[in-house]
Structure 1
Amino acid sequence: MTERTAVAALREFAGSARFAQALTLIAIGLAFSTHAIRSLVGWPGLLAALTALIALCGVSLVARWRAVEWYGILPLTILVFVGWCAASVIWSATPARSAAGVAYLVAFTVLGVYVALMRDTIQIVRAFGDVLRLLLSVSLVLEVLSGLLLDLPIVFLGIKGDLASLGPIQGLFGSRNLLGFVALIALLTFVIEWRTKSVLRGRAIASFILAAGCLVLSGSPTTWIALGAALVATLALYGLRRARPATRRNWQLALISTGVVAVVLGWAFRVQIIEALDARGEFDVRLDVWRELSRYLNTNPLQGWGFVGPWPDRIPYTWIEVATGRPHESALNAYMDAYFQVGVIGALLLVALVGVALVRAWLLASNRRSVVYAWPAMMLVVIAVTSFAESFALLEGGWMLLVVCAVKAARDMSWRDALAVGAR
């Protein structure tokens, strides 16, 4: 084989759909397995794997350059938010840590953009389904091993071995809330797989039971609230997709009004809802963190303390941990986290990013015939609701999922198209 032939073969392999599919699976798996990878090989191993994966994605993009539609590649909301986070390095209280945090955010942004560019929506749903099936299965096996067979915690993974008492369990994800979040998006993904007949019926049923079991055993109150919101959104989409096009706009306006009323009522009866979900302890923890955050927000309300992503062991974050009496990796609220790290401007940019993406995805889901278009809308509903109690939307797999959904929604419907559809 000559050198030219070898180069041509390498280029053909790098530009193949199978290579892009493999990289998509690896990217999703890495993004949602960061806790397990760090536990096994530490930060150096995770960063090395992330760097190698981004390099391979770059090779794949170059090889498939002519096949990619580059117009409208990235929504303006993502560019502005990431740009503002990068600019915060200038005024950050910890500039070196902020630079590292921004680089980490950009890395998962690149992975999200790659997945959205290389695969169509049904392929992305299948990829997420395959990866999450594996991760939840491994999580459950480890919980059975720890809680039933050995009756010992797996300390380095953060598995406490509480399966015998029906949870809460953590699996590969290090916390019950993250496991609940992953189980919920997996549950919705498996439903879309079943509705699109992407997998056999038996596999779809088994996957649904697996995700539902992990969700219940996680014992995460925040996940139950997000599940309720997702179910309401699913019923609303079901009705909209069957409404006559002439009346669809009126139904959309009615849903918006109903949503506003639901939010107001939810806030008014928040105490009763928290007690009904037995989430008083969870809420008190978050309230303590947010109370301490407010003490330092007055110092830098407009621009924040500088983007860092996961909280480092440095001031002012250590001050908050000392005051609350426990370590924290985030503000337990993505919007509050953005407010604290990149100020009111950054928080508004994050709200705009999630909001614009959700509107686009919602209009697509309610107007396109294929049920697969409901997947980005459902994912964004879960992200938007969960972000009130967790910061997953700013971190690793949660951020990558947000980028994937935002990019797919923007490429399938620009803001001009969205306004045109909404005006019909």
Structure 2
Amino acid sequence: MSSAAGGAATRFWHATRDFAGSARFAQAVTLTAVGLAFSSHAIRSLIGWPGLLAALAGLLVLCGASLVARWRAVEWYGILPLTILVFVGWCAASVLWSSAPGSNAPAWSAVRAGYLIAFAFAGVYVALMRDTIQIVRAFGDVMRLLLSVSIALEVLSGILLDLPIAFLGIQGDLTRFGPIQGIFGSRNMLGFVALIALLTFIVEWRTRSVLRVRAIASMSLAAVCLVFSGSPTTWASLGAALVALAALYGLRRTAAATRWRWQIGLLVAAIAVIVTAWIFRVRIIELLDARAEFDVRLEVWRELSRYLNRNPLQGWGWVGSWPDAAPYRWIELATGRPHSSALSAYIDVYFQVGVIGALLFVALVGVAFVRAWLLASARRSVVYLWPALMLVVIATTSFAESFALAEGGWMLLVVCAVKAARDMSWRDALAAGRPPVPAIERLG
């Protein structure tokens, strides 16, 4: 009897391991991870923080089981870019000096740092278990569903019922041509997701990984959501992404021997454009009809500056999305409206983890972008455009929003950084005694 029971247990273990180690299981977990990360606002609105945290814990268990089952198939050396490790480590270390008065600051920092690490782990899992084209397909499938649900609810609220759906933050302004929020809580977040979706659908179309009819319908859906969101920050990011796409289109058609000259020329041109945009920033803001949004951000940043001098080097301690505690409550009271962030990822990081944390975050985004850009400009497959374009959107959006520091935006940043690092690793290159060049250039 005991022998039979032992044999049954062994068979059950092998069956479970084979199931958890299968490609279909990894695909399902990837879709779940992306869906959970980008629908977190809707999940919180429906079942609250306990439900979201329970769902996240279940996701991490599934990711862990899949990793254990496929342990031998994973190349563990150089999994994470050092920039991710150091930035996340610094955020976690901020628990030691978190000093927000009037609140249990170390506990806040510990919980929020764990939340940051959880989504980073999910992002690492996605980057490890799936190829770039599979990741693009996963994001495309999830974005199609989330944007479709958003439009359906906006139609229900604004046309069929003519009533807001308060618990989701949907105002029902579709008949007035927006702005709409969908299931994402704000028009800027909807615009951010719609832009990510639009670029993802374009890559799907160009790689012929979906039918043409489906690709056109998907791009139309994303474009409608982007337009009706009425988000000025999204329009600016769209402009940057289109310029980057045009530049990559040209670079991919230049000879490998002369491509570095064009890269330097583009770098100089980009610096010139940034300086020019800064000089004419007021006029650009007026053209984008973003004066009201810019004034809101300026007011928040002005209040933040009053508290920055107290902890400039190490910051106040990592909290991610702002809690209802000092000094964040003081800033909200001073500005007269609630805020969940500093409305700029760079400033938010500076405030929470100081100058050191801000430099580490800039290094994370910058190094990932350089790697992804070089890969996109050198590799033949169109799919390598996707990480570079995602990082362009993240880098530009982070000037006016903090999406890159939480949930879906943060997981997307981790996925792109890990994929770029694994395809162009400085550590592997130094160990081999050669510069880190894309594979296409090594093959000649």
The normalised TM-score by structure 2 is: 0.94
Measured after TM superposition, the shift of residue 2 of structure 1 is 2.1
The correspondence of residues 341-352 of structure 1 with structure 2, limited to 5 A, is: 341-352=352-363
Q: Partners in 1 of 2:154 and 2:176 — Cα distance?
A: 12
Aligned to 2:380: 369
- Deviation per CA, 1:147-194: give whole Å up to 9, x if none: 000000000000000000010000000000000000000000000000
Please point out which of 378, 390, 393 is paired with 1:382.
Answer: 393
RMSD between aligned residues: 1.2
2:190 corresponds to 1:174: no
1:205 aligns with 2:216: yes
Runs of 4+ aligned residues of structure 1 deviating over 4 Å after TM superposition are: 416-420
**What CA distance in whole angstroms lies between the structure 2 residues aligned with 1:331 and 1:415?**
33
Question: Does the alignment pair 1:302 with 2:308?
Answer: no
SS of 1:89's equivalent? helix
Specify which of 67, 77, 99 is matched with residue 71 of structure 1. Answer: 77
Q: Decide which of 384, 395, 398 is 2:409's aligned counterpart.
A: 398
Aligned: 1:338 with 2:344? no
Matched residue type, 1:354: V
Residue identity opposite 1:85 in structure 2? C
SS state of the match for residue 246, structure 1?
coil
User: What's the counterpart of residue 152 of structure 1?
Assistant: 163
Could you say which residue in structure 2 is the equivalent of 1:421? 437
Q: Could you tell me how far apart the structure 1 residues matched to 2:145 and 2:176 are? A: 24
Partner of 1:39: 45
The Cα offsets for residues 339-391 of structure 1, whole Å up to 9 and x where unpaired, read as 00000000000000000000000000001000100100000000000000000
Cα offsets for 1:198-234 (capped at 9, x unmatched): 0000000000000000000000000000000000000
**Post-superposition CA distance 1:307-349 (Å, at most 9, x none):** 0000000000001001100000000000000000000000000
Whole-Å separation in 1 of the counterparts to 2:187 and 2:209: 29
Inter-CA distance 82–63: structure 2 relative to 1 (3 Å threshold): same
Q: Is it true that 1:233 corresponds to 2:244 in the alignment?
A: yes
C-alpha distance in structure 1 between counterparts of 2:61 and 2:360, whole Å: 29
User: Is this contact kept in 1: 2:424–2:436, CA < 8 A?
Assistant: no
1:4-403 pair list within 5 angstroms: 4-93=10-99, 94-403=105-414
How much has 1:419 moved relative to structure 2? 4.8
Larger Rg: 2
Contact 2:173 2:180 in 1 (8 A): yes
**Aligned-pair distance for 1:5?**
1.4
The CA deviation at 1:71 is 1.2
Q: Could you tell me how far apart the structure 2 residues matched to 1:358 and 1:420 are?
A: 15
Matched residue, 1:412: 423
Aligned 8 A contact 2:321 2:406 in 1: yes
CA distance in structure 2 between the aligned counterparts of 1:314 and 1:167, rounded to whole angstroms: 33
Other structure's SS at 1:388 match: coil
Displacement, 1:60? 0.6
1:246 CA drift (Å): 1.3
Write out per-residue CA displacement over residues 80-120 of structure 1, whole angstroms, 9 at most, x where no aligned residue.
00000011000002111011110000000000000000000
> Partners of 1:204 and 1:387 in 2: how far apart?
28
* SS of match in other structure, 2:47: helix
Residue 6 of structure 1 and its aligned partner are, at CA, apart by 1.5
User: Hey, what's the Cα distance between the residues in 1 that align with 2:143 and 2:76?
Assistant: 29
Structure-2 separation of matches of 1:305 and 1:10 = 45
**8 Å contact kept, 1:360–1:415:** no
Q: Report SS of the residue matched to 2:338.
A: coil
Name structure 1 gaps, 5 residues minimum. Answer: none
Q: Please report how far the alpha carbon of residue 420 of structure 1 lies from its aligned counterpart in structure 2 after TM superposition.
A: 4.3
TM-score (norm 1): 0.99
1:242 counterpart SS class:
coil
Q: Percent identity?
A: 76
Distance 1:334 1:119 in 2: 28
Q: Which runs of 5+ in 2 are unaligned?
A: 1-6, 100-104
Distance 1:97 1:12, change over 3 A: same
AA paired with 2:437? V
Contact persistence 2:424–2:437 (CA under 8 A): no
C-alpha contact 2:60 2:118 (8 A) present in aligned 1: yes
